[in-house]
Amino acid sequence: MKTVYFDSAATTQVRDEVIKDMQEVLASQYGNPSSTHAFGRASKSIIETARKTIAKQLHALPQEIIFTSGGTEADNMILRCAVRDGNVTTIITSPIEHHAVLHTVEELRNEYNVTVEYVKLQSCGTPDYEDLERLLAANDERKLVSLMHINNEIGNILDIDKVANLCKANNALFHSDTVQSIGHFDWDVEKTPIDFMTAAAHKFHGPKGIGFAYIRKNSNFKPLIFGGSQERGHRAGTEPVHNIKGLETAFKLAYENLEEESAYVQSLKDYFKTAIKKAIPEVKFNGNCDDKVKSTYTLINVCLPMSPEKALTLQFQLDLKGIACSKGSACQSGSGKGSHVLAQILEEEDIQKPSIRFSFCRYNTKEEIDYTIDVLKEFV
């Protein structure tokens, strides 16, 4: 059976070079990084080299990069520490953030009685910047803004510099879930006054189970996980050296090939958009995903014209044809719940129709798009 993988926003295929480097570390660099003998020092060197590689690309300091198990842990760490250690009493976020942020914020409201404000959304799903400015200026409470750079379901791009400067002007901290953008977009934390960011290696052709948090210096955060003094005291636990090496290799390759690969993936998205509009004229594009400037080049989210009854079997039919895609965030798709993102921005009529996210990467082809469009057209 032909197979097509259009779900890279959920997770990506691991590059061959990443697998090779990880295997070499697993085979020969098995010392505990906290040990002082030669085996331990060799492992520690791998970790610190990776930290420097990431910091240099982001224009950050090595000590500002903290390795975590992925984006969810990094988001939890930053939000919790901002409240517990950073004197934050008000969190401003949006109703279409990833649940790693939304659920954490709700827990912090219950545990610490923090005030949670949700910025209004434009009809396309982008935060209303005027409303954000109003919320920031409302009082003198210590605030943290948490808004994702790229929405993982509809692909909208936040004006990160605008938000960062608004936060700075109002003496607020700024955290952005950048899981969908690290490895796909250039970053310079010297030019963009952002305080906290998060990344996950499996979003840019690295291994699962490893990511990092960028935490600007002098944040004075204490660890959430206690034990040893790993990660410069920020996160206890023996580091997964092979995963960190895999993250570094994937990260380096992502940025070394960024211009070429982003142009190729953008061409795939453009081709998909044109092909599906021709095959199914009534199709709608959710959010800003059909806009080259306001949306990421890596994904497209489409609303298909069919009855709710028929829609129930759409993803099953796609799976039978070997096509992998997502009806929403992969973190939620197994729960049976609808998309909390689309529920905020779609009209009631369109909420009843199936919306599918197709996300692309360097391994995809136009032939795969042709096959997928044919399957969709036949089913619709």
Q: Return the active site residues.
A: 331
| Identity of the amino acid at 264 | Y
Task: For residue 118, give the DSSP letter.
Answer: E
Residues 279, 284, 286, 287: what is their CA dihedral angle, to the nearest 10 degrees?
110
| Nearest residue to 221 via CA among 241, 246, 240, 196 | 196
Greatest alpha-carbon span in the chain? 66
In contact, 86 and 195? CB cutoff 8 Å: no
Phi (first) and psi of residue 377, to 5 degrees: -60, -45
Rounded CA gap, 79 and 224, in Å? 11
Beta bridge pairs of residue 99? none
Q: Are 247 and 51 in contact (CB under 8 A)?
A: no
Side chain identity at residue 46, one-letter code = I
